[in-house]
Amino acid sequence: MIVRDDIRNIAIIAHVDHGKTTLVDGMLKQSGIFHSKQEVQERVMDDNDLERERGITILSKNTAVNYKETKINIVDTPGHADFGGEVERILKMVDGVLLVVDAFEGPMPQTKFVLTKALELDLKPVVVLNKIDREDARPEEVVDKVLDLFIDLGATDEQIDFPVIYASALEGYAQEELSATNDDLEPLFKAVIKHIPAPEGEINKPLQTIVTTIEYNDYVGRMALGKINRGQVSEGEEVAICKRDGTVDKKRISKLYAYQGLGRKEIKEAKVGDIVAIAGMEGINIGETIADKDNPEALPFIEIEEPTVSMTFTTNDSPFAGQEGDFVTSRNLKDRLLKELEKNVALRVKEINPDTFKVSGRGELHLSILIETMRREGYEFQVSKPEVIMKEEEGQKLEPIEEAIIDIPEEHMGTVMELLGARKGEMKNMVHLSQSRLRLTFEVPSRGLIGFRSEFLTKTKGEGVLNCSFSHYDNHRGQISETDTGSIVADREGEVTRYGIFTAQERGDIFVEPGTRVYEGMIVGSNAREQDLNINICKNKKLDNMRSAGSDEAMILTPATELSLEESLEYITSDELVEITPKNIRLRKKILNKKTRVKAQKSN
């Protein structure tokens, strides 16, 4: 047994927007990774376009910094419950965690989720109270809340005795005491070295490394990432891959990499405790073990929580199909979804028929990120309304329940309680955050939260903050009424006119601009009444001696309501689809022809 005192392996875990990626930025900058004249963008670890646009971490990232004689391997993990599959695997690679908590908001749903996982794996926590420079920061109170959370989660006495570092990741300083003054992150580096255990293991026993992440490189192909749990490994060595089905493959390591700063450097050998990327591993999957070729012993496979939401992905069959995408066939769609399965461990894909696939994930955001990623890659397809996945145990129908934590101005309390009451939500707790803001905790069926976010933001005038995470399965809570608005549907193909919008806008909100190409069955707006409304939104005003085409300019049009991908998924009902192309997101009826649609409704 050896102890690698020259290494610390840590994961940074936190709720969304509590500052962990900014903290990693500060650690990278202050450890001398970048040279003095190098220009470094903010949140440098979030290198995915979607991550930068949305301000969230979606994929875990590996990096490493040096503090004096010690190498600190750091993994920046997602902070959203929908990407919990990423968090669960990554924690298998580390020996401790930095739990970052906002000094005003305190522990939030994802704080609870990631901390639960860390405590289950007996990882040593260091609590970093971030954003202590906020005007409304309440650090002493938040430390008490964090302690309460540890106790609620059944932490051991040793885990409850956690060290606390007070920090401002944005300003780049940390301190051991609130009353102290400091201008750098050195106290944080010292706390990591002092409190996070050094990795240890048997170096003379056969190799064992569990694959926690898969990356692809244009030069060396598929790479397996993981921590060496036992033994040592060299470039060019032949190893065994213990597959999930119990079989064993033999592969030769073509390249071996360690992490340094934002990149990887090629190394010749690695030993127990090192986090490495191994090339030459074609066909390997997450959760499998790279082992000694003569003594292939598999580590326990990583258990990932099951999906709670599913959607159908189908090939695009609208009148505009194939006009905007590069990849439009069912074969393209199937290959892309199967490729996603290789790295997205919380995803499930089931082929319903050659053109239709049931895709299940950890939540709406999990699936919408996949849809948006595919759209940007040039794929064209259609998706259905998200549906929650029910369970059956001992003859009882069970459904997923989520914990919803809602921060709102006090005057919106009645409205929010009414909204969630209609969605079978139960209020569990209420606290005053300040004189004018409340924090409400609800338990709500997952299906009750589909379509809720946009309505919630509207009713709270954009001032409400909603955070949800999966809690448990419970008895089915009964029928939830569907949306009380219908759709405005185009009754023919053509180009939208100003006059068409002018005559339609008094009926509800319009989603299209003049000049937009539409087809029969395409949804062009939301009807203020319950039933769908079929209209000719392409019609021109009839001209006579008294009127001219130029008088169209005098028409005052209400600006079109632009729906994002998430809003589109929330808007549609069970008989509608969202058409996804690289250039457009369109809403449509499943049955495009009005007469056929009416017949189908009557037969139901």
How many whole angstroms from its chain centre is CA 499?
42
Q: Beta partners for 165? A: 128
Mean pLDDT of 65-75: 87
Mean pLDDT of 221-249: 87
List, in order of start, the domains of the chain with CATH numbers: 2-198 (3.40.50.300), 202-292 (2.40.30.10), 309-388 (3.30.70.870), 391-475 (3.30.70.240), 486-603 (2.40.50.250)
Q: What is the pLDDT at residue 86?
A: 61
- For the chain, state the CA radius of gyration: 27
Q: What is the pLDDT at residue 598?
A: 86
Tally of helices (H runs) and strands (E runs) in the chain: 15, 38
Q: What is the pLDDT of residues 522-548, one digit of tens each?
A: 999 998 888 889 999 998 876 654 555
Report the binding-site residues for GTP.
17-22, 130-133
> What is d(CA 58, CA 568) in angstroms, rounded to the nearest whole number?
21
If one compares 119 and 37, the residue with the highest pLDDT of the two is: 119
Place of tokens 């309440």: 138
Q: What is the pLDDT at residue 54?
A: 42
Task: Pick the closest to residue 564 from 31, 33, 50 (CA basis).
Answer: 50
> What is d(CA 445, CA 305) in angstroms, rounded to the nearest whole number?
18
Mean pLDDT of 414-429: 90
Q: What is the pLDDT at residue 163?
A: 93
DSSP string, 301-320: PPP-PPP-EEEEEEE--STT
If one compares 75 and 147, the residue with the highest pLDDT of the two is: 147
Task: Pick the closest to residue 345 from 45, 10, 112, 78 (CA basis).
Answer: 78
Q: What is the pLDDT at residue 547?
A: 52
- Name the band, by pLDDT with cuts 50, 70 and 90, for residue 466: confident
Amino acid at 460: T
Q: What is the pLDDT of residues 27-42, one digit of tens each?
A: 888 876 544 334 444 4
0.75 exceeded by the pTM? no
Task: Pick the closest to residue 536 from 501, 491, 503, 488 (CA basis).
Answer: 491
Report the binding-site residues.
17-22, 130-133
- Name the band, by pLDDT with cuts 50, 70 and 90, for residue 357: very high
Residue 482 confidence (pLDDT) above 70: no
Q: What is the pLDDT at residue 304?
A: 65
Q: What is the pLDDT at residue 58?
A: 37
Place of tokens 């009451």: 421
Q: What is the pLDDT at residue 37?
A: 37
Q: What is the dihedral of CA 365, 366, 369, 371, to 10 degrees?
A: -110
The rounded mean pLDDT for the chain is 83
Q: What is the pLDDT of residues 178-217, one digit of tens each?
A: 887 888 899 999 999 999 999 988 998 999 998 888 777 7
- Name the band, by pLDDT with cuts 50, 70 and 90, for residue 554: low
Mean pLDDT of 102-126: 83
